[in-house]
Structure 1
Amino acid sequence: MSAVLAPRVEMLRIGGGDIDEMLAIENRVHPFPWTRGNFLDSIASGYSAWGCRVTGELVGYCVLMIAVDEAHLLNISVAEKRQGMGFGARVLSHAMRVARQAGALILWLEVRPSNGKALALYRNFGFQQVGVRRGYYQATDGTEDALVMKHDLAEVSA
């Protein structure tokens, strides 16, 4: 019988040195991706940015803005070739823990109605739609609305 070691999966803080890897993922999975400037500004502003690495390879990341008792998930992405393997759930779960540990009671996010995979993930985690931002996202034929969702973090263990 041969022993197979599971790959090492780590959630680590993201810094400026990770931006090229993030951009490579971002540009493949989003029709209107964040720019280098968006990532640099987020990190410079002190937003909480985390990457999921599997044996050193960046497979996903998230960027959170945390203020007082609320957090806003600004970006969450998983590499195209790693989607459907549970990494989105791992990154989202980590983001929720980080937000809760920082004192946030609610986690907010926006999502495209056309992003079925993301919607399914958020609903599976108990996010509830509370509104719509009309024309929020850029789209190939103009704009697309954003569904505003929130999650009560009170039950998330810190």
Structure 2
Amino acid sequence: MSFTLRPMRLDDIPAVGELEHSLFPIDAWPLHMFFEEFSQPETRHYLVAEVEGSLVGYAGVMSMATTADIQTIGVLPECEGRGIGTAMLTELLAEACRRGALEVMLEVRADNGRARSLYELFGFEQIHTRRGYYRDGVDAQVMRLQLAHQRTEP
């Protein structure tokens, strides 16, 4: 499956919101959050993945000073395992580096083994657990990647 990554555009946000609600029904961001994130390009970078012109994934990073935070990554289940998440994470880490980040943080659901495995492949390490972080009571694992000694792809 061939896919394309590109910067998110304002007119992508409604489709990203639909995908968000489909992928994360319990913890989906309200649409206005995507508009707020998009309106802060000095600290935010969002991208989308497309297959044959259809949106199949999205991701974003916030970079402030020397710390970046992976805000979100989502890929349609039928497109998982094809390198889309890896490509998006690679691009987010490269953007964090371009913006001067020395470390990247993220939270991931403790029950999302696929995502945790991807992050570990890139060198992220669990540093904390936030008990009951998600609306359904699932814990969040806080993970960190030190960029000063890490390449930006597995």
TM-score over 0.5 (shorter chain): yes
Aligned partners of 2:132 and 2:97: how far apart in 1?
30
Segment drifting more, 28-37 vs 112-121: 28-37
Matches within 5 A, 1:7-156: 7=2, 9-31=3-25, 32-46=27-41, 47-139=44-136, 143-154=137-148, 155-156=150-151
Decide which structure has the larger Cα Rg and report it.
1
What is the distance in 2 between the residues matched to 1:138 and 1:22? 21
**TM-score, structure 2 normalization:** 0.88
Unaligned 5+ segments in structure 2 are: none
Q: 1:36-55: CA deviations, max 9, x gaps?
A: 01111111233211112233
Q: Match of 2:92, SS?
A: helix
Figure out how many residues of one structure are paired with residues of the other and give that number. Answer: 148
Structure 1: runs of 5+ lacking an equivalent: 1-5
Higher strand share: 1
Task: Report runs of 4+ in structure 1 exceeding 6 Å deviation.
Answer: none
- 3-state SS of 2:19 partner: helix
Q: TM-score, normalised by structure 1?
A: 0.86
> What's the CA shift for 1:57?
2.1
Task: Give me the identity figure in percent.
Answer: 32
Q: Cα RMSD over matched residues?
A: 1.6
- Secondary structure of the residue aligned to 1:94 is helix
